[in-house]
Structure 1
Amino acid sequence: MRGFAGLARLSPVWIGLILMWLIATGLAMTVAGEVARRGAQADLARQAEAGAALHAAVLRSELEKHRSFPLVLSQDPAVIAMLGSRDPERADAVSAKLQTLSEQARAAAIYVLDGRGVARAASNWREPTSFVGSDYSFRPYFSGAMRDGAAEFFALGTVSGRPGLYLARRIGPASAPLGVVVVKVEFDALEAEWRGSGEPAYVTDGRGVVLVTSIPEWRFRRSRPLTEAERQSIMADQTLSGQSLAPLPFDPPVVDDRTMVRAAVDGPAEDWMTARAATDTPGWTLHLLSPVGGAIVANVASARAVAGLLVTLLAVGAGVLLRRRQQAMAKALAEEAARAELESRIDERTIELRAANARLSEEIDERQRAEASREILREELVQANKLATLGQIAAGVAHEINQPVAAIRTHAETAVAYSDRGDVEGVRRNLGRVTDLTERIGTITDELRAFSRKSSQGVSPVNPCEAIDGAMLLMGAGLRAGMVDLVRTGLRDVRVLAEPIRLEQVIVNLVQNAFEAMVDHAVQSPQVVIDVARRDQWVEISISDNGPGVDPSVADALFTPFVTTKTKGLGLGLVICRDIIAGFGGELNLQPGRTGADFVIALRPA
């Protein structure tokens, strides 16, 4: 009662001042609380966005490091040679190479699939869970790489059951693919690093399925509803089962202005600030949850208290207000400096990544130039070998031409004698024989010109008997002069994928080698047998002789450059021949025989 009595004794001015103070204090505290709440949310959102950008940069760096491996391995000559061969030693050598590369790059697995999707080499080839021999043609990354040249796919491993991203790239051109090289990347280390930061992070694909996450329980959950068709497709392609594709334990934000969610992460439910960042992987989005805690409540309460205090002590708190402003400015400057430092680090990391990408592009260009130079050198070696072979058989061809020329002269003189006697029929008969002999000389010279020209690179259906006929036209005189018996057996109507002049060059080289080996060792009744046969999925051209054979000490290295059994040989003829046959998609091998040497050319049937 005394209080009311005192208030009643106050003048209306003081009552008005008190009412204005109460209204101003309430309004100031309300406005200050709302402003503080929005400001705190904005600061937390900026921090979350910066954290998400940093996480995305680390993820991009990890993926860029591994994306270069499929590109380089798809152009590796050892990998290409292994896919074109059935030799298990080549496959073991490639597997050992992949094992070393996997250990150095910390890749989960690196393996090579052939054109049917069967693993021919793998980094885990010595482990019980080796991929070698397994069929992965059902995997989407295999079909995607064979169709588009490259593919990326996230799924559980069919053997290990561990999740990972499969980076695949086709080997060879789209018109004639040899297979696919695959690198599996697991994100255990990256997820552990995210988990240590105390801020849950996860990556979703284009359909909202969680792939990479610092919370293992969230993996393969969905952030949005899925249709039944999408669910079945994801379950089948990514080999999922059980509780996969269940919704996340919170409602992810679906619009830009909703940046806070409430979720339970390793404890009771609490508020989290969300942020997202795009990645270089198509469809992938990185999401980050930053803890809100009591920051917003504390800021709101503090702002209201300060506003009330400022309004109440405005007259006597000028100095306090100035100190408060200084503290607020210092805090703002510190936050700005922290943000500037973070942005500077992100810019430096981006510059380093661009420089690394530029260096990688330069290395790729240099490798392509080296490959082009190597191809030109190989073509020049093939042409040089062909001209050297022509030099060896020139004497025999000259003898082959000299006989028709001598016969032409004889028939011409006989025709003159018939003409003097008026025997028109005799003249015609001799001139007809001259015409036949002239055509034979033309056939021989045409074959020489065709053999000496550079061949095209493409393959087409070729009858191997026609290539053998051309080779015998060039080699026939030499074989007859050396008393070598030529025997031809086997099929005559089969066709193979090859280039006729190059195939003829290989046959000439092999027959010439057999001829020289038998002549140098004075073999009694020398004989060369050429056989054409169909075996399994190959057409085999066998060229064998009854000469001394190949010394076992050099048999294993016979197709190595500069390895030869000839006293004047360079050791390049068989290397070039095998390279030519490999270019057709075939094989050239030395088969063990009881006597002599037996070289077998295996080609794909047309």
Structure 2
Amino acid sequence: MKRLGSPRLIKRWRRLAWRAVPLLATALLLVALDQIARYGAERWVLVQLRADAQAAAELRAAVLRSEIEKQRSLPVVLAQDPDVRAALSEHNPVMLRALDARFETLAAGTRASVIYLLDSKGITLAASNYREPTSFVGSDYSFRPYFRHAMAEGAAEHFAFGTVSRRPGLYLTRRIDGEDGPLGVIVVKAEFSGVEDDWRRLAGPTFVTDTRHIVLVTSVPGWQFRAIAEITNEERVRIRASLQFGDASLDPLPIVVEGDDQVRVTMPDGGAERVFVEAAAPVPSTGWTLHVLEPMAATANVAIAAARVLALLGGALLVIALAFGWYRRRRALQKRRREERARRELERRVEERTLELSTANDRLREEMDQRQHAQSALQGLQDELVQASKLAVLGQIAASVAHEVNQPVAAIRTFAESGGLLLARGDTLSAGGNLATIVGLTERIGVITGELRAFARKTPGHLGPVSLREAMEGAMLLLGHRLREQDITLEIDLSAGDILVVAERVRLEQVLVNLLQNALEALTGQTGGRIRVEARAEGGNAVITLMDNGPGLPDAVLQALFMPFTTTKPAGLGLGLVISHDIVAEFGGSLAAANRDGAVFTLILPRVP
């Protein structure tokens, strides 16, 4: 056995060390070249990106200024218009309605968000959005800074969050003077959604800040009304009290300055940190500052990669030459080592195979014992299956009641909240109507729970003539608010007249609610959503068709649609359509589904002669 300090072993280690010196020197050279190339490329990229970002900031600031200047001329021109002055002086309803139509046409032609006229008390007399539910006509804006400043100084510009439209924009105002003093104020609101959309198609974020460093216009939706500098609590309270930015948090942006005009940004919605080059340019005539963040990653990676390739090319030739020499010298040694490893690998595989055969034999005996235990437990499992079946039926009934009672309870809450708002406004007549509706919904919950007790007694519901129109109106009572909330168009075609079908009123409404709710779920997040319900008489049956323009049903779901727990909803139970199918079958009808430019459900019920 060789001793550690023997002369032969020491000589061998020295020889290995001298052979490693050229390789170590070559590796150090390659590392040094790589680092030098990387540093030079980063400096060059930073200079180029800084120049590009500054040019982009100045160009976008000029475009934004052009958009603002285009809107600034509107209040100036309208303030001199004789029709506007006459309408303010006389408060003639005919003249004011004519101004409504004129403002509407003018706003569409100039792409202004809204144009409206305020009297000397801040009350809106005419507005371009007079046709919309959120019309400004009759609203009091005397508390708004743009009105107060215009009345005091003759003109004002104020960027704020719309109290009615809930959309931010720049309010441009001009005072209209009469012979006896100020008559009122003309207001033009400019929104920048089109500019923001254009910015979103660019590589990096773009945003505009005011003198308080609060973001007003941005290509990143989550950044609006946040700040690039810390805002004191006193300033935060004052801003929120003015309602300029609604209930915005005014929190600082996730931007960390790293020097050399570089910033590190945490992108919204869980995005990773990215490094940008920042450039800023003032927006003339506004007091705003436009910021551009130019991403470094793509440009820097390409430049660094090219520099590193060029720098390492020479070193690579040297490495190749050294590797070739080492290869020839060690070829014979590697061959002997491969043969030795092959022999050892063969012995190892023989041992592993022997162990595997022994293990497989033991596992086979264990499986035989497990099968004997499984055979003895089979009888017990068959007995438990009956009990499990009973529990499944009970669970389906409980899920059905929870599924259906939740809808009128949600509607009761909506009508109660609406009634509270109506009472706060003094509209007791409408609030009384909401309370009456809530009473009807509670009666409906009683009918649904009564149906559960009837099911428990195994007594079927009473079938009789039911008006299809009334059943549809009852379903609309529960889902009307969701249609409006999702801005979905509902078309009901009962041109064949009111059809009487053989059914039970509450359970028929239950089926219609389930079908309409499934259509609403399919249209979630889709613009231009549309649901169409048609009813016609065919022989002794009534055929009701419900169609939507959603994505339709997947083929796999369509084949098992009326089987329990088949659903496309992430939180769905998969019982609604099963229950509906069973209810329709009890009525003597049928329920089928298909895809045709969206999902189509066909409900066939026997018609009252």
TM-score of Structure 1 vs Structure 2, range by shorter chain: 0.3 to 0.5
TM-score of the aligned structures, taking structure 1 as reference length: 0.46
**Bigger radius of gyration:** 1
